[in-house]
C-alpha cells in the first residue's frame, strides 16, 4: 500500500484543517459541491500547490522533501483544464510531455482508444477525444511505475466529457489499476460511480472535510443533502447498488 496522508492541511481559505489518510484505500473518490476544494486538494497532494500550513506525507516522506523530478516519476496528475490550444499532434504531445514514442500499451488503448488520433492535431479533436488523449498522457508519464503497481494517479474530473461507454471503460481501467496496488485519487460529480468502485469517499464543503469513509459511511442522504444544499435521495438498485438522485423541492 502506498502511504499517502495529510495533516492539518491549510491552503488559505481554500482548504482548512484537512486531516486525511489514504494509505489503506487504493481508489479514493473526492466529492462535494463546486468550490468545495477538490481540485485544490488534488493539486496539493501532487505538490503543485504549496499548503500555507500542514503537510502531505507520501511514502514516509513529506512532499517538500522530493524534488520535481522525483515527484514526476512517482505521481501523475490530470488537471481540470488540461487542454492544448497550439497545434501539437497527439504523437508530439506524448513525446514532449512524457517522452513516449512507442505504441500505446494495450491496457490503455482498450480503455481510451487514442491510437487512431496519433497524427491528429489536438485542437481539432472533440472535447471528449482530447480528454481521452490527456488521460493517456497522464498514464504514460508513469506507466513503468504503474505496471509495477506503485503509481499514484491524481485525477481531477477524469470523466468530464467522456461518453457513457468511455466512462465505463475508464472506471474499469482505474479500478483494475487500483487493485494491482496503484493508488488513484479522483474528483467526480456523478456520485453514482462511487458504489462498486470507491474504497474511500471524501466529502468536502467550503474547504472543509465533512465526512470520509466507505460508501456506506459517506453516501448518507441527510449528509449529502446538507453538503450539496439540495434534497438527495438514495435508492438501492436490484443489483444492490446505491443510486442517488436529486429530489425537486416542491415550491
Contacting residues toward ligand ATP, per CB under 6 A: 14, 32, 34-40
- Give the DSSP H/E element, type plus range, for residue 21: strand 15-21
CB of 54 to ligand ATP, least distance (A): 16
For residue 52, give the C-alpha cell.
500555507
Q: Which is nearer to ligand ATP, 14 or 137 (CB)?
A: 14
Name which of 230, 208, 204, 231 is nearest 218 in CA terms.
Answer: 204
Residue 166 in 3-state DSSP? Answer: helix
C-beta of residue 206 within 8 angstroms of C-beta of residue 13: no
Residue 211 to residue 37: CA distance in whole angstroms = 14
CB of 119 to ligand ATP, least distance (A): 33
Residue 2 to residue 232: CA distance in whole angstroms = 34
Q: Which is nearer to ligand ATP, 111 or 185 (CB)?
A: 185
Residue 20 to residue 159: CA distance in whole angstroms = 24
| Helical packing angle, 127-141 and 90-98, nearest 10° | 30
Q: Which is nearer to ligand ATP, 141 or 187 (CB)?
A: 187
Q: Which is nearer to ligand ATP, 107 or 225 (CB)?
A: 225
Alpha helices (H) along the chain: 38-46, 68-74, 90-98, 106-112, 127-141, 143-147, 164-179, 215-218, 221-228
- Using the structure block, give the residue that is written with the C-alpha cell 466507505: 214
Q: Which is nearer to ligand ATP, 39 or 178 (CB)?
A: 39
C-beta of residue 138 within 8 angstroms of C-beta of residue 104: no
C-beta of residue 6 within 8 angstroms of C-beta of residue 50: no
CB of 42 to ligand ATP, least distance (A): 8
CB of 234 to ligand ATP, least distance (A): 21
CB of 219 to ligand ATP, least distance (A): 17
CB of 46 to ligand ATP, least distance (A): 13
Q: Which is nearer to ligand ATP, 39 or 141 (CB)?
A: 39
Q: Which is nearer to ligand ATP, 39 or 146 (CB)?
A: 39
For residue 228, give the C-alpha cell.
450539496
CB of 34 to ligand ATP, least distance (A): 3
Amino acid at each position: 500500500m502506498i502511504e499517502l496522508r495529510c495533516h492539518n492541511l491549510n491552503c488559505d481559505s481554500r482548504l482548512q484543517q484537512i486531516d486525511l489518510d489514504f494509505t489503506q484505500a487504493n481508489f479514493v473518490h473526492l466529492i462535494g459541491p463546486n468550490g468545495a476544494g477538490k481540485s485544490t486538494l488534488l493539486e496539493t497532494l501532487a505538490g503543485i500547490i504549496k499548503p500555507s500550513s500542514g503537510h502531505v506525507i507520501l511514502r514516509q516522506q513529506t512532499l517538500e522533501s522530493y524534488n520535481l523530478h522525483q515527484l514526476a516519476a512517482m505521481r501523475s496528475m490530470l488537471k481540470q483544464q488540461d487542454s492544448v490550444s497550439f497545434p501539437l499532434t497527439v504523437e508530439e504531445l506524448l513525446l514532449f510531455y512524457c517522452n513516449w514514442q512507442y505504441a500505446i500499451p494495450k491496457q490503455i488503448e482498450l480503455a481510451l482508444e487514442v491510437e487512431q488520433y496519433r497524427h491528429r492535431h489536438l485542437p481539432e479533436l472533440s472535447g471528449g477525444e482530447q480528454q481521452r488523449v490527456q488521460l493517456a498522457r497522464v498514464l504514460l508519464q508513469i506507466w513503468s511505475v504503474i505496471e509495477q503497481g506503485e503509481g499514484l494517479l491524481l485525477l481531477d474530473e477524469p470523466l468530464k466529457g467522456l461518453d457513457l461507454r468511455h466512462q465505463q471503460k475508464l472506471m474499469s481501467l482505474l479500478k483494475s489499476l487500483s487493485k494491482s496496488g496503484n493508488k488513484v485519487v479522483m474528483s467526480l460529480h456523478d456520485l453514482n460511480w462511487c458504489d462498486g468502485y470507491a474504497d474511500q469517499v471524501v466529502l468536502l464543503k467550503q474547504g472543509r472535510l465533512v465526512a470520509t469513509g466507505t460508501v456506506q459511511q459517506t453516501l448518507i442522504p441527510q449528509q449529502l443533502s446538507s453538503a450539496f444544499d439540495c434534497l438527495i435521495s438514495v435508492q438501492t438498485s436490484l443489483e444492490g447498488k446505491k443510486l442517488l438522485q436529486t429530489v425537486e423541492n416542491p415550491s
